[in-house]
Homo-oligomer: A and B are copies of this chain.
Amino acid sequence: MTRSSVAQNTAVLLIHCPDQRGIVASVTRFLDENNGNVIYLDQHVDIALDMFFMRVEFELDDFQVPVEKFHDYFDTLVGQRYNMTFTVHFSTHIPRMALFVSKMSHCLYDILYRKEAGEWNVEIPVIISNHENLRRVADNFGIPFEYIPITKDNKEEQEKRQIELLKKHDIDFMVLARYMQILSPSFIQTFPSKIINIHHSFLPAFVGARPYHAAHDRGVKIIGATSHYVTDELDAGPIIEQDIEHVSHKDTVQDLIRKGKDVEKIVLSRAIRSHLERKLLVYKNKTIIFD
Contacts and interface: CB of A to CB of B under 8 A. Distances in A.
Q: How many copies does the complex hold?
A: 4
A230 interface: no
A285 B239 contact: no
A163 interface: no
Interface string A89-112: 000000000000000111001100
A254 B249 CA distance: 26
B106 A117 contact: yes
Interface stretch (A18-26, A121-129, A147-155): A18-26
Given A113-B109, A219-B238, A250 B205 contact: no
Nearest to A247: B242
A284 B31 CA distance: 30
Contacts of A28: 22, 24-25, 28
B286 A249 contact: yes
Interface residues of A, number: 68
A47 interface: yes
Interface stretch (A37-45, A74-82, A181-189): A37-45
A167 interface: no
Nearest to A290: B249
Contacts of A39: 45
Interface of A: 1, 3-4, 21-22, 24-25, 28-29, 31-32, 35, 37-48, 104-106, 109-110, 113, 116-117, 119, 140, 202-206, 218-222, 224, 238-244, 248-250, 252-254, 258, 262, 266, 269, 285-289, 291
Closest A-B pairs by Cβ, 6 of them: A219-B286, A25-B28, A205-B205, A140-B140, A25-B32, A221-B242
9 contacts: A4-B254, A24-B28, A25-B25, A39-B45, A41-B43, A42-B43, A222-B242, A262-B266, A266-B266
